[in-house]
Structure 1
Amino acid sequence: MIAYLEGTILRRDEESCVLLTAGGVGYQVHLTTQGLSTLGSGAEVARLFIHTLVREDALILYGFTSWEERQAFVTLLGAPKLGPKTALAMLGCYDVAELAACIAREDVAALTRVPGIGAKTAKRLLLDLKDKLVARPSLGPGRTAPVVSAASDCAAALVSLGYGRHDVDEVVRTVFENEPDLDAGSAIRQALKIFAAK
């Protein structure tokens, strides 16, 4: 699983760039509109955190300028019927903290500003993503540290291990109901014990 790439930008278009690594391999990486805007015009070094999406007919790389943004993308993909194109569009319109705030205040209007999301879809997403994408309390005037909740990290890890999304959501809910202050690593261990006992 590719999680990080560093290399020179060979070319870019409206949705992706080609990143040439030191080993001479060029990777096509899809980015948010914000991510693309941070790249230089060419022949500049880029450092990207990567989410690798494996399909039967393709292996697609999605790049992010921060680990928090990458993890938020993974969390968004966990929502039913939310594809990578829409998840990228959401992170292109809002940074992680802004998106978490929209979800926390159930702001349908804000989500409908994302291309491809109508009012009906926005309402469904607010239900699907509630308590999954969160922001830490403010670190001072105007500063908020965006993070994905421990529950979301735990769920994403379990899904990557091959457990079904429905079963994962149920087990993660049980784990955090019993011990709400667990970190992601401890929660994963507790969840695996529950799965092993089934």
Structure 2
Amino acid sequence: MEYILIFISAIFVNNIVLSQFLGICPFLGVSKKVDTSLGMSAAVAFVLTLATIVTWLVQHYVLDVFGLAYLQTIAFILVIAALVQMVEIILKKVSPALYQALGIFLPLITTNCAVLGVAILVIQKDFSLLQSVVYAFSTALGFGLALTVFAGMREQMELSSIPKGMRGMAIVMLSAGLLSLAFMGFSGVDGGLRLLFGLD
């Protein structure tokens, strides 16, 4: 039941983009088309889950063991950058079609602060490895959901008559704020489920 609560909470209640405001750059930059947002979501899900596993292992079996916890941020950034490069090289060799489909999205993930944020959050929350994997994958799904819904909104806005003063980034920011408010409606759901199943 704990894993279901982590899953629901990461996707809806504590959405990485709309509640914690991590990963805003790709959220605003890659959300013009639903197709590109789906590609970015898939790439982020893969890298986020893999990076969380590796950084959790680095934290518990290297940094904590040798008393180097103060190097956490630098170590995690290096690990994430190396992982993205490794994934890019492997995909280029193994599956050129998938590599072409993801295109520019893979290098962009290196600068996505949501990946580093989740890697640090699982350490702060003192999650086990399995809980960390569930949290990372759920967070990636939440990121993908927010990105895809927002891309759909932006595609719809292209067909709408928007006042001249609101065109461009103004309507985009306003729409992002409204979407964030919509996701606030889920706040308290995880607490209610905990009470319902007697986990508190």
For the criterion TM > 0.5, the same-fold answer is: no
Which fold has the larger relative contact order, with Cα–Cα distance below 8 Å and residues 6 or more apart in sequence? 2
